[in-house]
Amino acid sequence: MILTIALSAVAPIVTYNTLVDDHGWSEASALLASGAWPVLDTAVMVAWRRKLDEFAIIALMFLVITAVVSLVGAQSAQALLVKDSAVTGLFGLLCLATLLAPRPLMFYFGRKFGTDGTPAGVAYYNDLWRFEGFRNTQRRMTLVWGVVYLIEAAVRIVLSYVLDTSTMVTLSPFMIYGTLGGLALWTVRFVKHAKAEGEKRAAEAAAAAQAAGSAA
């Protein structure tokens, strides 16, 4: 987490300000150069884990989208900021699109962070899909993540037109990681609540079954 914050938040801000203020780079060129740090962060994470899991694939996919989008159309600083904001909006759309798939995106996020990664742990998590309550929980989380990221992208796009470039370069990482942190906190609480509700319903069903057996 410290490395990610350093490479994806602190380094881009420092690089942008240094290139613009001390070396006379244009705002657009400085923005493109500062975007190399998140690419390095992803490369370091992949090398560290020594495997290309679904999260690394998603990160690489969005880095490619960011690069392609940045090179299309106008190359002004404002246009680059708007394009960068649109990428998180694309992630929100991806979340919503997976609601139509057999399993939504948050199911795979949950499997990554909710298991120890062993075949037995993954198999146990996959087996939970047979429960309706578990399926509804995964779909609801995916819906919330998708909607929130669409809103975050829309707000950042509006701010790109309202605030100057230097302010947005500083503010944007805080919005990105603030949104991510808020969603992560909500997800943890929501999962705990859903789990407690599921255990309560299971206990009530077991008690009812026991009572019916005793009566018989």
> What pLDDT score was predicted for residue 104?
94
- High-pLDDT (> 90) share of the chain, %: 20
Residues 109-148 pLDDT 10s? 888 777 777 888 889 999 999 988 899 999 999 999 999 9
The interaxial angle of helices 105-113 and 54-71, nearest 10 deg, is 130
List CB contacts of 68: < 8 A, sequence separation 6 or more: none
Contact between 60 and 41 under an 8 Å Cβ cutoff? The reply is no
- 140 to 1, 137, 172, 188: CA distances (angstroms): 27, 5, 27, 13
List CB contacts of 147: < 8 A, sequence separation 6 or more: 92, 96
Contact between 151 and 186 under an 8 Å Cβ cutoff? The reply is no
> What pLDDT score was predicted for residue 111?
85
List the one residue out of 106, 86, 108 whose CA is nearest residue 96: 106
Residue with tokens 């884990």: 49
> Is residue 170 very low, low, confident or very high in pLDDT (cuts 50, 70, 90)?
confident
- The model scores a pTM over 0.85: no
